[in-house]
């Protein structure tokens, strides 16, 4: 299968890359478009690639051709850390593997693994810590891959599992599966880079 022009990867797991759009021999991951630092969506949702117009995409590709990924050291790194004094740029999937956070609201900011927002919650000691979504074990400590609900401080989730749940439930239904909190839970998940679609 053809690779995404931005990240050069052919993987298409929608819970990591978002949907994929292929047109005229070009293929893009939705998340690679959304998080390319100097790219804005200027078309309607059904125009171009997810609303991103080809001339804008080409301009962004030209810009990032000179940007080296601080993770894989290859060129074409389109995502920039938003932290003021950080010059780290990376490919979206490289960032995902290294613990970088890209947010899906407001300015769609991204942060490298050093500056990524982290949860400030203190974990209550528990015998068998498991993911509330898949029931498999989670890590002993909160991390990029192990998240907790700030409202009950009891439910834990794998990032992958909670992202999948968010895409299915969307804004009007996405809640903590343990305490049913929506507001605090959604705000925290957005901050941590979980994509909660509006519908």
Exposure of 99 by Cβ count < 10 A (0-12 exposed, 13-18 middle, 19+ buried)? middle
Q: Give the SS3 label for residue 17.
A: helix
Residues 6+ positions from 111 with CB-CB distance below 8 Å: 81, 82, 83, 100, 101, 102, 117
Q: Give the SS3 label for residue 25.
A: coil
Among positions 26, 53, 152, 167, the unique one binding Zn ion when judged by CB under 5 A = 152
Distance, in Å, from the CA atom of 9 to the CA atom of 29, rounded to the nearest integer, reads 9
Residues 171-190 that bind Zn ion (CB under 5 A): 176, 178-179
Taking the least distance from each CB to Zn ion, the nearer of 53 and 86 is 86
> Smallest distance from the beta carbon of 16 to Zn ion, in angstroms?
10
Q: Give the SS3 label for residue 80.
A: strand
Among positions 33, 39, 100, 161, the unique one binding Zn ion when judged by CB under 5 A = 161
Taking the least distance from each CB to Zn ion, the nearer of 15 and 178 is 178
Distance, in Å, from the CA atom of 148 to the CA atom of 60, rounded to the nearest integer, reads 36
The reply on whether position 164 binds Zn ion by CB under 5 A is no
> Smallest distance from the beta carbon of 61 to Zn ion, in angstroms?
12
b/e sequence 104-136, b meaning 16+ C-beta within 10 Å: beeebbbbbbebbeebeeeeeeeeebbbbbeee
> Smallest distance from the beta carbon of 47 to Zn ion, in angstroms?
20
Distance, in Å, from the CA atom of 4 to the CA atom of 33, rounded to the nearest integer, reads 10
Q: Site map for Zn ion, 37-76, x if CB under 5 A?
A: --------------------------------x-xx----
Among positions 39, 155, 194, 196, the unique one binding Zn ion when judged by CB under 5 A = 155
Residues 87-126 that bind Zn ion (CB under 5 A): 88, 91, 94, 112, 115
The reply on whether position 34 binds Zn ion by CB under 5 A is no
Q: Which residues bind Zn ion (CB under 5 A)?
A: 4, 6-7, 29, 32, 69, 71-72, 81, 83, 86, 88, 91, 94, 112, 115, 131, 133-134, 149, 151-152, 155, 158, 161, 176, 178-179
């Amino acid at each position: 299968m053809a690779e995404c022009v931005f990240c050069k990867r052919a993987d298409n797991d929608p819970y990591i890359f978002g949907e994929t759009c292929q047109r005229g021999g070009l293929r893009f991951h939705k998340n690679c478009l959304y998080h390319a630092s100097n790219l804005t969506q200027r078309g309607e949702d059904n125009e171009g690639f997810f609303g991103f117009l080809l001339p804008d995409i080409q301009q962004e590709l030209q810009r990032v051709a000179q940007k080296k990924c601080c993770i894989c050291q290859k060129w074409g790194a389109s995502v920039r850390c938003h932290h003021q004094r950080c010059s780290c740029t990376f490919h979206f999937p490289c960032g995902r593997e290294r613990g970088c956070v890209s947010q899906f609201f407001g300015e769609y900011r991204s942060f490298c693994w050093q500056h990524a927002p982290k949860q400030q919650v203190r974990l209550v000691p528990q015998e068998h810590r498991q993911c509330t979504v898949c029931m498999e074990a989670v890590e002993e400590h909160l991390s990029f891959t192990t998240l907790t609900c700030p409202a009950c401080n009891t439910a834990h989730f794998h990032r992958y599992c909670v992202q999948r749940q968010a895409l299915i439930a969307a804004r009007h239904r996405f809640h903590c599966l343990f305490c049913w909190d929506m507001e605090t839970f959604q705000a925290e998940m957005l901050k941590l880079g979980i994509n909660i679609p509006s519908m």
